[in-house]
């Protein structure tokens, strides 16, 4: 079953951001674009490389009006401990959501029941709280923040210009397509 257009279920979770514990709810995320970036666990191997890549791209996401929420099934205390002990994780300025009950991981359908961990799932959510793009990778396969950002830009463009679509590898300023009978079989 596809998660496209699924509304994110209501939630309130603890989080770690900029040296503080905060509460984050669905209500806090609505009205702006969001990326939910699920990963298996703190203090692991591939995860810090992905989170650092995302941290290095965070300013671009913010300029595009997007907030990033990294999510694992760890507690907010573990997020802080990882932040305090890892030079890589210290670079993170986006919000790290704690999901020890796996409520979010289950809602986004990335929870691995047998392991108590989340899959590597990237979800782009529009201001209305609907999933408009997602990708789930096997545990040993890291993601690319540049490609996630490109997909986000395409989702934003289509959201604003509903009569146009973005072809493969599209980037802002490049030609889009206007679906019509004339294009069928022509590309």
In which region does residue 186 sit, left (phi positive, over 0), alpha (psi from -120 to 50) or beta (all else)? alpha
What does the alpha-carbon distance between residue 117 and residue 105 come to, in Å, rounded to a whole number? 8
Is 47 an active-site residue?
A: yes
> CA–CA distance from 116 to each of 1, 48, 81, 100, 123 (Å)?
22, 19, 20, 9, 20
Question: Do residues 71 and 118 touch, judged by C-beta distance below 8 A?
Answer: yes
Active site residues: 47
């Amino acid at each position: 079953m596809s998660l496209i257009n699924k509304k994110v279920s209501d939630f309130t979770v603890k989080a770690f951001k900029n040296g503080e514990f905060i509460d984050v709810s669905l209500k806090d995320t609505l009205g702006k674009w969001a990326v939910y970036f699920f990963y298996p666990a703190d203090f692991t191997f591939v995860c810090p490389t992905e989170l650092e890549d995302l941290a290095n791209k965070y300013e671009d996401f913010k300029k595009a009006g997007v907030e990033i929420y990294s999510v694992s099934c760890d507690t907010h205390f573990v997020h802080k401990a990882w932040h305090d002990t890892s030079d890589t994780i210290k670079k993170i300025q986006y919000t790290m959501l704690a999901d020890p009950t796996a409520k979010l991981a289950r809602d986004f359908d990335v929870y691995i029941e047998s392991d108590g961990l989340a899959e590597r799932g990237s979800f782009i959510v529009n201001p209305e709280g609907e999933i408009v793009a997602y990708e789930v990778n096997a545990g040993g396969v890291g993601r690319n923040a540049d490609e996630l950002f490109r997909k986000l830009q395409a989702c934003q463009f289509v959201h604003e210009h509903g009569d146009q679509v973005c072809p493969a590898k599209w980037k802002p300023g490049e030609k889009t397509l206007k679906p019509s009978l004339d294009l069928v079989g022509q590309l």
